[in-house]
């Protein structure tokens, strides 16, 4: 008896302490939310015009085909009533036979209580019925342009994902079980995590995906040995130390996207493309872009080409003692490399011997999922924001890309962190994903308006550094790697732009997986394979149908292609030269900068 009283007292004390801690954290949360900087509302949701079009299409359908709408409603009501009756029977202890879940198992509902407990089973099945009804309603909308229908479908899916019962404490059995088992401690830790994230983002909410204390650049991430050998206002140029006695004569220069940081290519030795390239006998240089602040407001695409691409190419030539380089562009950096090669062709500059493009879009006629954010409602909001602030804060880009995979990158991490009270994992890829960069105001608008919206690299041409260029002006040998499930640069769109290049020598490789995993896919594990086809590049569908599948990474295949474009073997080069002193060890200083808001 005494033991029971003691345990109850201790439980009450812990519960009271947790309540007091919640009160303290709530005050911190309120204070953190008050720090939120006002921003253009257009960055948060599509414009009213899209809602108007969707409502007009729905009303039109209701008037022209009321029988179908009524049929859908009756079916929805019938399903809902059936679920309710079955729940009542189950609560009364009567045996109930329910339908098996259609389609693949939804991992959000993996807890056995979703099937065994009448309350949770009713909630799950009703949510699934609601989802089916909403998807059917969107699919049935007639009279919408394809782009508008795609946007309505996308934002409907956002609502569907947001309203999942797993996202709410009262309807999440995992969170409730954890709260009971820990006497509320999990909820206190979850609130601590929530306050931490709101404070870190100055009043906005962005879920921390990885333990920020688990990694240190140059120590256990981004560790391939090298040095910064050149620096200007746009970039640091990193040369990596050779690991072979001889190297190919023509050096390789990688331009990563400035939307993210370059060390995605150097997370750890086992999956570092940078280390692997060096180990294959190439002299490797990588650009690390400046993370801009408001002082970069006037920096545009011209600056990225002149002070970025052309400056880096010239420095690499000087250091390597060659008159040519091979270049790689990843994502947006590949798009800009296309424009740069067109400009060099117009100027008669033959400094680039061959070029490779990772997950690159040059034809934006069908930009895929990201296209829902490229209409005027969002772009107008971005333009208004950068006119005021001088740059686009990394928060908005990170949020946008996260919501392209909302369940994986928003809701599931939020549940683990805020409801279950778990600490973020020590995961290098997610650490990099949360280490974003800002975008200069002028460059951001130029890219969105002229390349994404107006598709000027295809027609009538993109104006850059005093010349008008298009994909047809790219004449050097080229290789492109696209990724089969890429949701940022869809492979068919990448193929469609690439096939229009003016080059006579074009090699296209399709890797399995997505935008990151398809590129960071080292040999050995054979997790993802790739496709090749030496035949004509008439259409993506025809190319894929005739392509051969190869198990394992595309890296060795690309190495063989690159070797044939890199000249004879010469003694390995030291870092820098008499005019290019070592300024800092890799990964440099720009990559670690976080501009003040």
- Return the minimum-mean-pLDDT range out of 137-151, 213-227, 261-275: 137-151
Cβ atoms of residues 86 and 96 within 8 Å:
yes
**297-308 pLDDT, tens digit each:** 999 999 999 999
Domain that holds residue 470: 226-361+465-592
Q: Are strands 478-483 and 506-511 parallel, antiparallel or unpaired?
A: parallel
In this structure, is residue 526 part of a structural domain? yes
Q: Which two tokens stand for residue 453?
A: 């919206």
Residue with the two structure tokens 């995961």:
427
Q: Is the pLDDT reported for residue 340 higher than 70?
A: yes
**469-495 pLDDT, tens digit each:** 999 999 999 999 999 999 999 999 999
Q: Are strands 569-571 and 246-248 parallel, antiparallel or unpaired?
A: antiparallel
- Which phi and psi (to 5°) does residue 246 adopt? -125, 155
In this structure, is residue 269 part of a structural domain? yes
- Give the single-character DSSP code of 451: I
In this structure, is residue 586 part of a structural domain? yes
Catalogue the active-site residues: 331
Banded model confidence at residue 10, pLDDT cuts 50, 70, 90: low
In this structure, is residue 429 part of a structural domain? no
In this structure, is residue 19 part of a structural domain? no
In this structure, is residue 35 part of a structural domain? no
CATH of the domain at 492: 3.40.50.1820
CA distances from 128 to 97, 174, 220 (A): 17, 19, 44
**342-359 pLDDT, tens digit each:** 999 999 999 999 999 999
| CB proximity list for 6: less than 8 A, separation 6 or greater | none
**94-136 pLDDT, tens digit each:** 776 766 665 567 899 999 999 999 999 999 999 999 999 999 9
User: Sign (positive/negative) of CA torsion 538, 542, 546, 549?
Assistant: positive
- Round to whole Å and give the CA distance between 390 and 295: 7
- Round to whole Å and give the CA distance between 118 and 14: 32
**272-285 pLDDT, tens digit each:** 999 999 999 999 99
Q: Is the pLDDT reported for residue 382 higher than 80?
A: yes
- Which phi and psi (to 5°) does residue 268 adopt? -155, 160
- Taking the model in full, what pTM does it have? 0.92
Q: How many domains does the chain have?
A: 1
**527-582 pLDDT, tens digit each:** 899 999 999 999 999 999 999 999 999 999 999 999 999 999 999 999 999 999 99
- Round to whole Å and give the CA distance between 89 and 111: 22
Helix (H, G, I), strand (E, B) or coil at 357: strand
- Which phi and psi (to 5°) does residue 302 adopt? -55, -40
In this structure, is residue 580 part of a structural domain? yes
- Return the minimum-mean-pLDDT range out of 194-198, 445-449, 464-468: 194-198
- Round to whole Å and give the CA distance between 246 and 105: 53
Q: Is the pLDDT reported for residue 5 higher than 70?
A: no
In this structure, is residue 116 part of a structural domain? no
HSE toward the beta carbon, residue 475, CA cutoff 13 A:
12
């Amino acid at each position: 008896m005494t033991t029971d009283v003691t345990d109850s007292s201790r439980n009450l004390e812990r519960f009271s302490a947790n309540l007091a801690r919640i009160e303290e954290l709530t005050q911190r949360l309120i204070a953190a939310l008050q720090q939120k900087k006002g921003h253009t509302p257009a960055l948060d949701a599509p414009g009213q015009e899209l809602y108007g079009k969707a409502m007009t299409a729905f009303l039109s359908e209701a008037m022209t085909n009321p029988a179908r709408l009524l049929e859908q409603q009756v079916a929805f009501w019938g399903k809902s009533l059936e679920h309710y009756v079955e729940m009542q029977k189950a609560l009364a202890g009567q045996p109930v036979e329910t339908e098996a879940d259609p389609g693949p198992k939804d991992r959000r509902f993996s807890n056995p209580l979703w099937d065994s407990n009448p309350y949770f089973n009713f909630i799950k099945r009703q949510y699934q019925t609601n989802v089916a009804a909403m998807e059917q309603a969107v699919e049935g909308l007639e009279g919408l342009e394809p782009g508008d229908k795609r946007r309505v479908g996308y934002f409907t899916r956002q609502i569907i994902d947001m309203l999942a019962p797993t996202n709410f404490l009262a309807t999440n059995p995992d969170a409730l079980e954890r709260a009971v088992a820990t006497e509320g401690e999990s909820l206190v830790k979850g609130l601590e995590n929530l306050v931490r994230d709101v404070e870190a983002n100055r009043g906005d909410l962005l879920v921390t995906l990885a333990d920020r204390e688990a990694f240190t650049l140059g120590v256990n991430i981004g560790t391939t040995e090298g040095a910064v050998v050149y620096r200007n206002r746009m970039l640091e140029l990193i040369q990596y130390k050779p690991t072979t006695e001889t190297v190919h004569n023509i050096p390789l220069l990688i331009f990563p996207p400035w939307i993210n940081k370059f060390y995605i290519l150097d997370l750890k030795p086992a999956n570092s493309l940078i280390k692997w390239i060096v180990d294959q006998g190439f002299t490797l240089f990588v650009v690390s872009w400046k993370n801009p602040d408001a002082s970069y407001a006037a920096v545009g695409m011209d600056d990225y080409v002149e002070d970025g691409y052309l400056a880096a190419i010239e420095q690499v030539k000087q250091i390597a003692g060659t008159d040519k380089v091979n270049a790689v562009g990843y994502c947006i950096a590949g798009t800009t490399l296309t424009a740069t090669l067109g400009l060099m062709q117009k100027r008669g500059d033959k400094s680039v011997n061959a070029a490779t493009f990772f997950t690159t879009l040059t034809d934006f006629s069908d930009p895929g999922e990201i296209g829902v954010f490229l209409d005027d409602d969002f772009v107008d909001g971005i333009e208004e924001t950068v006119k005021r602030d001088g740059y686009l804060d990394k928060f908005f880009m990170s949020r946008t890309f996260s919501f392209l995979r909302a369940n994986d990158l928003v809701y599931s991490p939020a549940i683990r962190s805020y409801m279950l009270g778990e600490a973020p994992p020590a995961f290098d890829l997610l650490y990099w994903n949360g280490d974003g960069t800002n975008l200069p105001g002028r460059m951001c608008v130029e890219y969105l308006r002229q390349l994404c919206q107006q598709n000027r690299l295809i027609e009538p041409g993109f104006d850059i550094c005093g010349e008008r260029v298009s994909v047809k002006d790219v004449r050097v040998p080229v290789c492109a790697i696209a990724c089969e499930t890429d949701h940022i640069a869809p492979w068919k769109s990448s193929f469609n732009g690439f096939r229009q290049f003016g080059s006579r020598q074009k090699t296209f490789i399709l890797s399995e997986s997505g935008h990151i995993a398809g590129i960071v896919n080292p040999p050995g594990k054979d997790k993802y394979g790739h496709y090749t086809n030496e035949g004509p590049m008439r259409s993506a569908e025809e190319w894929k149908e005739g392509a051969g599948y190869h198990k394992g990474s595309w890296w060795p295949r690309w190495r063989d292609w690159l070797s044939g474009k890199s000249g004879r073997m010469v003694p390995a080069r030291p870092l820098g030269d008499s005019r290019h002193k070592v300024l800092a060890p890799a990964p440099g200083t720009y990559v670690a900068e976080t501009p003040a808001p």
